Amino acid sequence: MKNLPYDIKGFDHCELYVSNAKQTAHYYRTTMGFQPVAYRGLETGNRDSVSYVLNQDRINLVITSPLEKNTKIGAHIDRHGDGMKDVAFTVDDSEAAWKTSLERGAKSAMEPKEIKDENGEAVVSAIETFGDTIHTFVERKNYKGSFLPGFETNDLGVKSESTGLVHIDHVVGNQPDGEMQSVCDFYEKVFGWHRFWSVDDKDINTKYSSLRSIVMANDNEIVKMPINEPADGLRKSQIQEYIDYYETGGVQHLALSTRDIISTVRTMRANGVDFLPTPKSYYDTLRDWIGPIDEDIETLAELGILVDVDENGYMLQIFTQPLQDRPTLFFEVIQRKGSNSFGKGNFKALFESIEREQEKRGNL
Ligand code: FE2
């Protein structure tokens, strides 16, 4: 099922439902360098919820909280904790995207609606995907405002210091055991995406907390969504730990690209972002298999940055600790130097690190 009658141009924004949007926005602003650009809340006439839009280069995060009891947002937070509600796509025709998706078996989360303000107009619609997650289709028709109609430009008078994050490289969804294939089938059927890359539990020593993963990608591979499920190992899979706390399938991590991972991670660390620790032994053997790279391995070791290589080049990556108290959503910082890999060479080191954290939480 290819030949979509509309075009998905890329990730538009990701929206988090959290219990205290003001403080969450402050965290992403001060530790990761996102700039508040738009706002919707009591002051703009929105009585039931508040949203802060944060931007860095081509990344937009929307942080939303309810302003009253018994809301859908509040119910989402009660069930899942703070988490990612919406992975929104920029499209050229929101109504066609919605209609086509429904024809191909998707369920509607929001019928197409035209929204407008003094800066112009846009059309938004949405479909459901795994768990309680949705995909909004955003079509901006010559919209000149800072985000979308209904939002006001957020003029806090603060200038965030960028940490060098550029764009959303991929968004990963965790699924309960046995549901990975059906979610991949959904993306194949509804969007015509293909299986770009996969890893199964045989690729990973089962001593380590295990997973299966398939990366779904659109035709030009600009939009990539790896889909994971837990696999049996001797210990509890990190994916199962996520499912235990999130209760359903949901977004596990956002991978954000940078052109200089050393500078980005150094700044984020200094700002207070906690990353997963990498054992020193990883760097003792790195030189033996990685081949020539531009970066100084001592510096990578100091910052805990992982490296993986494939036939096209290499990539550098690091993972934050969970970004809220439940061990659910986290971010990845990634710099690609030719490689399109998803870090399979790092799974063992990464899983060992995650396992040590799971053990501290009593969840292994
Ligand atoms: Fe990733």
What is the predicted pLDDT for the residue at 208? 59
- 311 & 240 share domain: yes
Which are the contacts of 169, defined by CB distance < 8 A and separation ≥ 6?
224, 255, 256, 257, 332, 334, 336
| Residue 87: CATH number of its domain | 3.10.180.10
Cα(201) to ligand 1 centroid in Å equals: 17
Cα(331) to ligand 1 centroid in Å equals: 8
Cα(2) to ligand 1 centroid in Å equals: 26
Cα(172) to ligand 1 centroid in Å equals: 7
- 70 & 185 share domain: no
Q: Six-digit token pair at 249?
A: 């399938």
Cα distances from 120 to residues 50, 143, 148, in angstroms, run 22, 5, 9
- 119 & 190 share domain: no
Range of the domain at 122: 8-153
Cα(213) to ligand 1 centroid in Å equals: 11
Cα(143) to ligand 1 centroid in Å equals: 32
Cα(344) to ligand 1 centroid in Å equals: 10
Angle between helices 238-246 and 347-360 (to 10 degrees): 50
Q: Six-digit token pair at 308?
A: 């993986």
Q: Is residue 2 domain-resident?
A: no
Q: What is the pLDDT of residues 37-73, one digit of tens each?
A: 999 999 999 999 999 999 999 999 999 999 999 999 9
* Domain-terminating residue out of 132, 153, 174: 153
What letter does residue 106 receive in the DSSP assignment?
Answer: P
- 94 & 215 share domain: no
Q: What is the mean pLDDT of residues 178-207?
A: 85
Q: What is the pLDDT of residues 251-310, one digit of tens each?
A: 999 999 999 999 999 999 999 999 999 888 888 888 888 888 999 999 999 999 999 988
Cα distances from 113 to residues 98, 109, 142, 151, in angstroms, run 11, 12, 16, 16
- The owner of tokens 């690209």 is 257
Separation between Cα atoms, residue 64 and residue 84, nearest integer Å = 10
- 134 & 185 share domain: no
Cα(116) to ligand 1 centroid in Å equals: 36
Cα(67) to ligand 1 centroid in Å equals: 33
Q: Is residue 1 domain-resident?
A: no
- 147 & 209 share domain: no
Q: Is residue 158 domain-resident?
A: no
Cα(1) to ligand 1 centroid in Å equals: 26
Q: Is residue 272 domain-resident?
A: yes
- 207 & 145 share domain: no
Cα(170) to ligand 1 centroid in Å equals: 7
User: In 10 A of CB 178, how many CB atoms?
Assistant: 9
Contact 270, 203 (CB under 8 A): no
- 252 & 211 share domain: yes
Q: Is residue 159 domain-resident?
A: no
Q: Is residue 185 domain-resident?
A: yes
| Residues surrounding ion ligand 1 at CB below 5 Å | 255, 332
Cα(232) to ligand 1 centroid in Å equals: 21
Cα(131) to ligand 1 centroid in Å equals: 19
* Domain-terminating residue out of 103, 129, 153: 153
- 148 & 173 share domain: no
Cα(22) to ligand 1 centroid in Å equals: 27
Q: Say which range, 201-210, 251-260, 339-348, has the weakest mean pLDDT.
A: 201-210
- 134 & 266 share domain: no
- 353 & 323 share domain: yes
Cα(188) to ligand 1 centroid in Å equals: 20
β-strands 165-174, 330-337: how paired? unpaired
Tell whether the model's pLDDT for residue 134 goes beyond 70. Answer: yes
β-strands 134-141, 120-128: how paired? antiparallel
Q: Which of 211, 274, 272 is nearest to 242 (CA)?
A: 211
Tell whether the model's pLDDT for residue 149 goes beyond 90. Answer: yes
Q: What is the pLDDT of residues 305-321, one digit of tens each?
A: 999 988 899 999 999 99
Cα(255) to ligand 1 centroid in Å equals: 5
Cα(113) to ligand 1 centroid in Å equals: 33
> Torsions phi, psi of 64, nearest 5?
-125, 140
- 131 & 192 share domain: no
Separation between Cα atoms, residue 257 and residue 264, nearest integer Å = 10
Cα(364) to ligand 1 centroid in Å equals: 22
* Domain-terminating residue out of 129, 153, 177: 153
Tell whether the model's pLDDT for residue 206 goes beyond 80. Answer: no
Q: Is residue 255 domain-resident?
A: yes
Cα(227) to ligand 1 centroid in Å equals: 10
Q: Is residue 160 domain-resident?
A: no
Angle between helices 21-32 and 261-271 (to 10 degrees): 130
What is the tally of structural domains in the chain?
2
Which are the contacts of 93, defined by CB distance < 8 A and separation ≥ 6?
5, 6, 7, 139
Tell whether the model's pLDDT for residue 203 goes beyond 70. Answer: no
Cα(118) to ligand 1 centroid in Å equals: 39
Which residues share a beta bridge with 50? 65
Averaged pLDDT score across all residues of the chain: 92
